Amino acid sequence: MSDTLTDSVALVTGASSGIGEATALGLAAQGATVALLARRRDRLDDLSARIEADGGRALVVQADVSDQRQALDAVESVVAQAGRLDVVVNNAGLMRIGPAADADLSDWDEMVSVNVSGLLYVTRASLPHLISAAADSPRGVADLVNISSTAGRSVQPGAAVYALTKFGIGAFSEAIRQEVLGQRVRVSLVEPGTVQTEITDHLPEPDRERLARRNGAMVPLAPADIADAVTFIVTRHRRVAVNEILVRAAEQTW
């Protein structure tokens, strides 16, 4: 383990699998106390046990970020238990794809609720604590990292609303960055390409087949590849702000 983030507290949403799980492990390895937030309590308990078995520290916070009250209470619970909040990684997200003319509106509602509203709720609750932490942190800085997607800069047919949510995250991140940079809070955007995660598991079979055809023989990224990007961002000296990282699979063209 490293001590780069010793005495820091990091909150990771969507921590029960994939990029969130890998990011939590990466931040814990840097010495942070990691608050694990997601809906699946059993997964969070397992991850917490793994972190602590490796000598790290973890808190489990079961919550649905798309529920405003749950999101706000989750952030306050982390601060109440850990005493501060230095790093927030907004990773929770989901994807539904298909032609807009045939879309189930509940799929659109769910994407907007999780990908946009959830990120907004967690960010709003976290910002005052990040500002406070930056003022007295040995690192001299606090970090907000929003996980977006290549869909936030490249639009594909069938992914209209998914892209809408990811483009929105980019705009929101840049506005917040400008608002809080004078208070030593860095805001960063990470845009992963195709990653081997559970995000496509809940898609109908025809949609999964369509994605498989598009990806072809491309070797997808691993969640740890994105976790590496997050860890790089938050371990820079306070003079350095890495505002955006685009990470594609090596063969990816979009």
- pLDDT beyond 90 at 230: yes
- pLDDT beyond 90 at 3: no
Chain segment 128-142, per-residue pLDDT in tens: 999 999 999 989 999
Residue 200 structure tokens = 């496509």
For the chain, what is the radius of gyration of the CA atoms? 17
Contact between 215 and 194 under an 8 Å Cβ cutoff? The reply is: yes
Q: What percent of the chain has pLDDT over 70?
A: 91
Sketch out the chain's domains with CATH numbers.
9-247 (3.40.50.720)
- Of the candidates 162, 169, 173, 195, the residue annotated as catalytic is 162
Chain segment 74-133, per-residue pLDDT in tens: 999 999 999 999 999 999 999 998 899 999 999 999 999 999 999 999 999 999 999 999
- What's the pLDDT at 200? 63
- pLDDT beyond 70 at 202: no
- pLDDT beyond 60 at 181: yes
154-163, 209-218, 236-245: least confident range: 209-218
Burial 146-173 (b: 16+ CB within 10 A, else e): bbbbbbbebbeebbbbbbbbbbbbbebb
- What's the pLDDT at 209? 67
- Known catalytic residue at 121: no
Cβ neighbours of residue 29 closer than 8 Å, sequence gap 6 or more: 1, 2, 54, 56
